[in-house]
Amino acid sequence: MRIIPAIDVLGGKCVRLQQGDYQKNKVYNENPLEVAKEFEANGIKYLHMVDLDGAKSKQIVNYKILEEVATHTNLKIDFGGGIKSNEDVKIAFESGAAQITGGSIAAKNPALFLEWLSIYGKEKIILGADCKNQKIATNAWLESTELNVIDFINEYVGKGIQSVICTDIAKDGMLQGPSFDLYEKILQNKKVNLIASGGIASMDDLVKLKAMGCEGAIVGKAIYEGRVEIGDLKFKI
């Protein structure tokens, strides 16, 4: 299973939110590049970067930070947050993203999202399936929909999506363990490459996610709070 540390960027700084609440943010480093370099120095190969400013403003904002990290490290970056247009996708890839994650756009404009899948291929486009009470949430998690997360994922897998990042918002930033029950339901579809995100608090959580069949796991606050040591992660467990 791939271990993918997260850098969430707000106001140019590396932060973590609690359950997606922008008012409950904690700054861990003023310089995201420093954090990325530390990950790489400890054997990490992958990075999940979220443009929180972009997610809120509905367009890519922190592409310069993406470019800086991509230029000064060899990390393979998947980038999301505010990607809503063809121009946003172009900027993200030109700034060094190896992959982009589309969440709100997949819920609100599926035709455009599928167009990106067709143009760039399933290796480059990740489906973001962020949910609360198993309903898809959009626009920086500030809006809810009636879309069931499992149906949402299965429909897109049927249309060619390969990789899915699923975050249970209620778990995110709480350090109380991920949404194992939800992931078990999602993994009943054997075609899903599931990347678990939200709530991971320990190495035991990662071992359990691997045993369940997750392709990857995104770890954020547990690293920043010292619950999981970067050196223990490498890039696989």
For the residues of 118-172, what is the DSSP string, one character each? HHH-TTTEEEEEEEETTEEEETTTTEEEEEEHHHHHHHHHHTT--EEEEEETTTT
For residue 208, pLDDT beyond 60: yes
Check 51, 78, 88, 130 and give the catalytic one: 130
Give residue 61's pLDDT band: very low, low, confident or very high (50, 70, 90). very high
> What CATH number corresponds to the domain at position 41?
3.20.20.70
List pLDDT tens digits, range 168-184.
999 988 899 999 999 99
For residue 235, pLDDT beyond 70: no
What mean pLDDT is reported for the chain? 95
For residue 216, pLDDT beyond 60: yes
Structure confidence at residue 143 (pLDDT): 83
Q: Is 172 a catalytic residue?
A: no
Task: Give me the mean pLDDT over the 10-39 stretch.
Answer: 93
For residue 36, pLDDT beyond 80: yes
Q: Is 130 a catalytic residue?
A: yes
pTM metric for this prediction: 0.94
Task: Give me the mean pLDDT over the 195-211 stretch.
Answer: 96
How many domains is the chain built from? 1
Of 83-92, 121-130, 136-145, the one with minimum mean pLDDT is: 136-145
Closest CA to 194 of 141, 144, 157, 140: 157
Structure confidence at residue 163 (pLDDT): 98
Two structure tokens written together for 10: 């707000």
Of 110-114, 200-204, 232-236, the one with minimum mean pLDDT is: 232-236
Give residue 19's pLDDT band: very low, low, confident or very high (50, 70, 90). confident
Structure confidence at residue 142 (pLDDT): 73
Count other C-beta atoms under 10 Å from residue 180's C-beta. Answer: 16
Range of the domain at 83: 2-233
Give residue 236's pLDDT band: very low, low, confident or very high (50, 70, 90). low
Alpha-carbon distance of 10 to 212, in angstroms, equals 33
